[in-house]
Amino acid sequence: MKILSKTLLILFAVTSFASVQPKYYLASGSGDNKIRIWEWDKKTQTWKQKGKPLTGHSDWVTSVAFSPDSKWLASGSDDKTIRIWEWDKKTKTWKQKGKPLTGHTGSVKSVAFSKDGRSLASGGARGDNKIRIWEWDKKTKTWKQTGKLLEGFLLTGVTSIAFSRDGKWLVSKSDNEMIITWDTKTRKQKAILDGSWYSLALSQDGKLLASSEPINKIIIWEWDKKNKRWNQKGKPLKGSHLAFSLAFSPDGKWLASGSTEGKMAIWEWNKEYKTWKQKALKGHSDWVNSVAFSPDSKWLASGAKASNDTIKIWKWDKKTQTWKQKALKGHSDWVNSVAFSPEMKKEPRFKKKDFLERLKFLEESMEQDWKEDLPNRLKRKKETLQKRITKNHAPIFNAKDSTKGPTAPFSLFRKL
C-alpha cells in the first residue's frame, strides 16, 4: 500500500499546468429578445461575439446566469419562461436544453444558480410574486420544480435573488422594496430587512450584503450567525446617484454600482482604514441596468438602456490606477442583464522533460521502498511457509541468509 500510494501521488503530479490559461465568457440578455455570448480575443485584444445570438424567447430577456461549472446558462424572460442552454463541446455552441421551464404567471425578472449547481431559483414579477426552485433530474435529464414555492404577503414582485455559498438560504428583493432571507430547506422566511431598497448584491462568501436606498446611499450588511439576522456594518456609503444595480467582485476588493442616470461608481475596500473609497466611472448615457465582475475580478461589465452603448467592458489599469472602458455593440435594445461565466480551463498537456524526470524519480522511489520493506516481506513469507510444512518436513529458509537487493524474494524460492 505504501508503494502504491506513493506511485499514485507521483503519477498525479506528472501533469504540467504551465500551458493552462483561464478562460471565461460574458453573457448579455436584451430587450431584443436575444442572448449574446462574448469571448476575449487574444489576437485583437478585444471582446468579440462568439457564435450567433441565442434565440427562443418571445419577449425581453431580463436575466442571465451561468452555473458554477459553466455547463449551463439560464435565462429568464418577460415571456414568463426560463430557458436552459447547454454548452456543446462538439459544435462549440450553446444549445437549448429541453423545453422551456414554465409555471410563473408573470415575467421572470431574476434567475440564479446555487453554488453547487444543483439548484436554480427563479423570481416572478408583480402578479406572480413567487420564487420557484428547480433541480436537475438525472433520470429524466430535465430541470424539475421541487418543494414548496417561496411566497408570502410581504413578497410582491421579485426583482433580484441570490444564493448563499452553502445553498442553505437565499436572498430576494421585491417591488415593495423589502429584502427577505429564505431558508431553502423549510422554504420559510428567515430574516427581513424593511426599508426602501432598490437593489441588492451578495458577496461571494455570503458574509456581506449590499443594498441601495433612494437617497443615494448604499448600506453594507454582515450576516450574524448566532442571531440569524443582518447587522449593518459601518457607515452608509454616500454616492452622487441612486444605485439601481450592484455587484461585489469575487475577491471582495470592489463594489460596483450603476444608476438610472447613466452614472457608475466603483467602491474600493481599504484594509488599513477599513473603509470603502469611491471612484466615479463615466461612459453610459442612460440607465445602467446590470453590473457584473469577471471571476478573476479583472473585468467589469455593465449593461444599459442607451442604444448606442448598451454594454461597456471595463478593465483595471494598475499603472494609471483607473478603470478603462470599451463598448460592445450588437444588441438593438436595452441590455437588462450581464453575467460572466466561472473560469473554464483548457485541458492540461504533458511536458516531455518534466515527465521523464518524474518517471525516473518514481523508479528510484519504488526501488527504495522495495529494499526498505524487504525484511518484512521475508518475515511474512517465512511465517506462511511454516504453516505449510509438509509431512516430510521441508527445510525452512532463514531470512538472514539473503538480505541483498530487490532480488531477495527470488533467491528464497531457489533455495527451497
Domain extent listing, the chain: 2-11+358-415, 21-345
Angle between helices 352-387 and 408-415 (to 10 degrees): 30
> Residue 204 has which C-alpha cell?
461571494
pLDDT the model gives residue 293: 96
> Residue 185 has which C-alpha cell?
430547506
pLDDT the model gives residue 346: 53
pLDDT the model gives residue 355: 59
Q: Which residues of 221-242 are buried (b: 16+ CB within 10 A; e: fewer)?
A: bebeeeeeebeeeeeebebebb
SS3 180: strand
How far apart CA 301 and CA 66 sit, in angstroms, is 15
How far apart CA 59 and CA 29 sit, in angstroms, is 11
pLDDT the model gives residue 16: 28
Name the residue type at position 406. Answer: P
Q: What is the C-alpha R_g of the chain?
A: 30
Q: Is the pTM of this model over 0.85?
A: no
Question: In terms of Cα–Cα distance, which of 121, 123, 125, 124 is closest to 134?
Answer: 121
Question: In terms of Cα–Cα distance, which of 54, 111, 107 is closest to 81?
Answer: 107
pLDDT the model gives residue 194: 79
pLDDT the model gives residue 370: 64
Instruction: Give every CB contact of residue 199 below 8 A, 6+ residues apart in sequence.
Output: 160, 173, 211, 212, 243, 244, 245, 246
pLDDT the model gives residue 160: 92
What is the CATH number that goes with domain 21-345? 2.130.10.10
Q: Provide φ and ψ at 354, rounded to 5°.
A: -65, -40
How do the pLDDT tens digits run along the chain, 416 residues long?
444 444 333 333 332 222 234 488 999 999 999 999 999 888 888 899 998 999 999 999 999 999 998 999 999 999 999 999 998 888 888 999 999 999 999 999 999 999 999 999 999 998 899 999 999 998 888 999 999 999 876 678 899 999 999 999 999 998 877 899 999 999 999 999 877 678 899 999 999 999 988 778 899 999 998 888 999 998 999 877 888 899 999 999 999 999 888 889 999 998 877 889 898 888 888 889 999 999 999 999 999 986 666 899 999 888 888 899 999 999 999 999 999 999 865 544 545 555 566 666 666 666 666 666 667 777 777 777 777 665 445 454 454 444 444 444 434 333 43
pLDDT the model gives residue 114: 94
pLDDT the model gives residue 371: 64
SS3 199: coil
Angle between helices 2-13 and 352-387 (to 10 degrees): 170
